[in-house]
Amino acid sequence: MKRRTTSCKGFTMIETLVYLALYAIIMTGLLSAVYSLIESSVHNQTVAMVEEEGNFLAGKIEWALSNAREILAPSSSGSTLSVTTFDGSPITIGLTGGDMRIQEASNPAHILNNTNVSITNLSFTHARASSDGINPESIESSFTIFATTSSGRFLSRAFSTLKYLRK
């Protein structure tokens, strides 16, 4: 009798299952890492946008105050800043429905922030100059910017500026 030898060139069922399990584990790890990187990138972009918006809005407030000859409002503190410039033009900065607006002279008010953020807690504090001349007249402004990332996470940051007025 002749003996038959069969050679099995291939994978057994157990080897196939082990390879599939290893592949699934590796792919799950890679997909989670990629998702985390994308989520982190979106969060960082939102943080950068909030920072840029806050710096821009603080700069606009400082710009309005740099040409201020007289502070019309607030007398002590309030949510609207109204100044008269050295050339006699009025500038008003205030908050309407989550948007910071600026109005120069009789022109229509313009929204300063972009549509991806919301502004809250806008306040201005007017400190009058002391009679001894040591403390000059100043305006302190503060506001909070809120934004939402594409994944639904909320992000907020408070900004404040202090500007001494020249006379």
Residue 89 pLDDT exceeds 80:
yes
What is the spatial distance between Cα 128 and Cα 135, in angstroms, rounded to a whole number?
8
- Average pLDDT estimate for 3-14: 72
The answer as to whether 36 is a domain residue is no
Q: Each residue of 31-67: pLDDT tens digit?
A: 999 988 888 888 888 899 999 999 999 999 999 998 8
The domain of 77 spans 51-164
User: pTM of the full predicted structure?
Assistant: 0.74
The answer as to whether 87 is a domain residue is yes
Q: Among candidates 90, 113, 89, 118, which has minimal Cα distance to 101?
A: 113
The answer as to whether 14 is a domain residue is no
Measured between its terminal Cα atoms, the distance across the chain in Å is: 118
Q: Each residue of 94-144: pLDDT tens digit?
A: 999 999 999 998 899 999 999 889 999 999 999 888 888 788 888 999 999
The answer as to whether 136 is a domain residue is yes
The answer as to whether 114 is a domain residue is yes
Number of domains in the chain: 1
The answer as to whether 99 is a domain residue is yes
Contact 41, 90 (CB under 8 A): no
Task: Please report which confidence band the pLDDT of residue 22 belongs to, taking 50, 70 and 90 as the band edges.
Answer: very high
Q: List residues bridging with 162 in a β-sheet.
A: 140
Q: What is the dihedral of CA 11, 15, 18, 22, to 10 degrees?
A: -50
The answer as to whether 98 is a domain residue is yes
The answer as to whether 21 is a domain residue is no
What is the spatial distance between Cα 167 and Cα 128, in angstroms, rounded to a whole number?
12
